[in-house]
Amino acid sequence: DGGITQSPKYLFRKEGQNVTLSCEQNLNHDAMYWYRQDPGQGLRLIYYSQIVNDFQKGDIAEGYSVSREKKESFPLTVTSAQKNPTAFYLCATAPGYANEKLFFGSGTQLSVL
Amino acid sequence: DQQVKQNSPSLSVQEGRISILNCDYTNSMFDYFLWYKKYPAEGPTFLISISSIKDKNEDGRFTVFLNKSAKHLSLHIVPSQPGDSAVYFCAASSNQAGTALIFGKGTTLSVSS
């Protein structure tokens, strides 16, 4: 069953805690992306990666970190430096990295306790 | 500054009528445009796209029109159905390596029966 798997579906973070959101894909896509959705704010780009062991900051990268050690995986860590982490996080993939439609996972809702 | 703008946060339409969702952009380098549909707590799903070399693209009930001189595109849904009720995001990109999709803030469409 091909697709993009994001886990967990819901995640709670305590003050000062780092949490990691998982994104795995078996579509053999080169590019992977992390977006954040806030109510009324649309989707804002956090980080993206076009190839293994390489990634670039998006518009709102502060307080986040990523890694791309395998083509299939692009985990996002929300660090304690991110002061407003409550949001719906979406992982996406694309076959290439220019003018390609994105395929999205089902998202992770992160809330602060 | 927003590069992709959806100025109508919401739209209400009766079943069977036409829904017209609008999107404006400011970056003249954008040459690929997409519309996504999103239900709450789910990832966006791709609807339709258009390249800047075209001014119209049609797929079933969905048609996207592009007016490059006005930097404006619109999505027409005919006839509208209650199942079309969702948030619709306009997105744009340019044909430059490494450019991710830039999304608007979305328009919530409600189709009443």
The pLDDT of residue A15 is: 84
Q: Residue A39: pLDDT band by 50, 70, 90 thresholds?
A: confident
H-assigned helices in B7-101: none
Task: For residue range A52-107, list pLDDT tens digits in order.
Answer: 999 999 999 999 999 999 999 999 999 998 989 999 999 999 988 777 889 999 99
User: Which residues of chain A from 56 to 95 reach within 8 Å of chain B, CB to CB?
Assistant: 56, 58, 88, 90, 92
The answer to whether B48 and B35 have CB atoms below 8 angstroms apart is yes
Question: Phi and psi for B84 in degrees, rounded to 5?
Answer: -80, -10
User: Which residue from B31, B43, B94 is facing A104, i.e. has the nearest CB?
Assistant: B43
The pLDDT of residue B95 is: 77
Residue A109's contacts (CB-CB under 8 Å, 6 or more residues apart) are A9, A10, A11, A87, A88, A89, B41
Binary contact (A99, B94; C-beta < 8 A): yes
The pLDDT of residue B112 is: 97
Q: What is the mean pLDDT of residues B81-105?
A: 89
Task: For residue range A9-18, list pLDDT tens digits in order.
Answer: 999 988 889 9
On average, the pLDDT of chain B sits at: 94
Q: What is the mean pLDDT of residues B55-73?
A: 97
